[in-house]
Amino acid sequence: MAKPLHEPGLVLDGFRLEERVHRGGMATLWRVSHPGMTAPMLMKVPRIGEGADPAAIVSFEMEQMILPRLSGVHVPKFIAAGDFTVQPYLVMERVVGKTLYERIGVLPLPYAEVADIGVKVATALDDLHRQHVIHLDVKPSNIVLRPNGETVLLDFGLSHHDQLPDLMQEEFRLPFGTAPYMSPEQLLGVRNDPRSDQFALGVLLYFFSTGVRPFGESETLRGMRRRLWRDPVPPRSLRPDYPPALQEIVLRCLETEPAWRYPTMAQLAFDLSHQDQVKLTARSERLRRDPFTTVLRRRFNKDLTTPRPKAALAAQLSSAPIIAVAIDLAEGHADIKHALRVTTERILATLPSARLACLNVLKQARLTIDTTLDEHGHNKHVDRMVGLKYWAEPLKLDERRLTVHVIEAIDPAAAILEFAQVNRVDHILIGARQESLMRKLLGSVSAKVAAEAACTVTVVRPTYIDEAAKP
């Protein structure tokens, strides 16, 4: 049987143990080196000695299966692994940076900084979800910020991979996680809902913006189960200057029922990035917890305390995309605007959880100084925002699903592409004008967007439309 590694200088498969950097309840971390490898590395070794927790072995098996399948800047790079027949270990990139746990001593943080952290973590989790993985142990010590600002998620031992066996669920009946951050559905044994990570991020945002954990420090299962029916104290009762939009977002993340939270991490990140357009509800103004009568109804409502089967992770994400439609508000393009609206309406009709971002680029001159007013003395930016809302009005969308954005830029195509990248847009709709010699020589905005976007792009061309059918 494999023995635990505990001596610096020991060499295993060419990796030399240099220094023990952490000893936890489930594993030990060593800084290691290897001839020919210059990148900083860590070796993770499970605790498998006498009296070791069986969950430590199973969670290590899960991480051994999951980490090699992950890629991108938001996870540590996988390097090597050893199996249990000789010595189990994982060697991965040693991420240079600071964990969010190091910020706990200076809480609460400024609201803008909390929102920025939320965007970065939500973006990292969205990337993880798109790789079929739900983290299920989101907490400050598992989040590292690189010097360049990129967020890295650590420790996938409790994670669920949508396309792999879930050994933690198969072998254990008790829920595993970090008590203050566990979602209500995790306490009920549900491990396949990506919105569980959103709940944990909501706890983190609440904690970092108020200095208080929303559900306390309870470690008993009975104490944790109260969050199945008891809401947290609204942040504004702790900090009177708490921004209403931020409270709206945080309390939505902390809803007991997953369906009441954001459909995806990308939509959460979008709202944190555009708080000026967040649709405020009664959540934003609350100063007190729900009355006792509401708590009792929730406590004995079996629909809220019974696990439900969930769709596959990919299906959940694809049902709630962020769609951006680029609209030219200039006069003389009514046919294109109408065709775009018809196409948008057809797509949204099949995706009731989708978000729509209406874009217009206010093109800036390269050499001259631009004025903010038009020839009639009206503010160009405001007029275009009004124009976007007027264009979207016939769609009759819930305000929580619609935002409008006027972007000032020299290059319209580059501005649309940047907006799509930053805001995790899944689908761009853009109109194509009639061909002209100038457009053939310089290239069209729609052609550049279609060629360079990382997401799906639909180029809409106007067809003959009966004048009576136009709005």
* Domain 98-316: CATH architecture, name and number where available: Orthogonal Bundle (1.10)
Hey, what CATH class is 321-469 in? alpha beta
Task: Give yes or no for residue 467 having a pLDDT over 50.
Answer: no
The domain limits of the chain are 11-93, 98-316, 321-469
- In tens, the pLDDT along 76-103 reads 999 999 988 888 999 999 999 999 999 9
Same fold, 11-93 and 321-469: no
Q: How much is the pLDDT for 440?
A: 52
- In tens, the pLDDT along 429-440 reads 999 876 644 455
- What mean pLDDT value characterizes the chain? 88
> At 365, is the pLDDT very low, low, confident or very high (cuts 50, 70, 90)?
low
Q: How much is the pLDDT for 468?
A: 34
Task: Give yes or no for residue 464 having a pLDDT over 80.
Answer: no
Q: How much is the pLDDT for 194?
A: 96
- In tens, the pLDDT along 246-269 reads 999 999 999 999 999 999 999 999
Distance in angstroms (rounded) separating the CA atoms of residues 248 and 295? 20
Nearest to residue 120, comparing CAs of 273, 250, 264?
Answer: 273
Q: What is the mean pLDDT of residues 61-73?
A: 96
- In tens, the pLDDT along 377-390 reads 567 788 999 999 99
Q: How much is the pLDDT for 301?
A: 74
Q: How much is the pLDDT for 308?
A: 64
Task: Give yes or no for residue 369 having a pLDDT over 60.
Answer: no
- In tens, the pLDDT along 294-310 reads 888 878 776 655 666 66
The encoded tokens of residue 220 equal 């008993």
Name, in order, each residue with C-beta under 8 angstroms of 311's C-beta and a sequence gap of 6 or more.
Answer: 319
Q: Strand 322-326 vs strand 160-161: parallel, antiparallel, or unpaired?
A: unpaired
Q: How much is the pLDDT for 443?
A: 58
Percent of the chain with pLDDT over 70: 89
Q: How much is the pLDDT for 330?
A: 81
Name, in order, each residue with C-beta under 8 angstroms of 451's C-beta and a sequence gap of 6 or more.
Answer: none
- In tens, the pLDDT along 115-144 reads 999 999 999 999 999 999 999 999 999 999
Q: How much is the pLDDT for 285?
A: 94
> At 469, is the pLDDT very low, low, confident or very high (cuts 50, 70, 90)?
very low
Q: How much is the pLDDT for 6?
A: 65
Q: Counting every residue, how long is the chain? A: 471
CA torsion sign, 433 to 437 to 442 to 448? Answer: positive
- In tens, the pLDDT along 5-46 reads 568 889 999 999 999 998 877 789 999 999 989 999 999 998
Asked which of 66-70, 276-280, 433-437 is least confident by mean pLDDT, the reply is 433-437
Q: How much is the pLDDT for 346?
A: 95
Q: How much is the pLDDT for 444?
A: 85
CATH code for residues 11-93: 3.30.200.20
> At 373, is the pLDDT very low, low, confident or very high (cuts 50, 70, 90)?
low
- In tens, the pLDDT along 213-228 reads 999 877 777 888 888 8
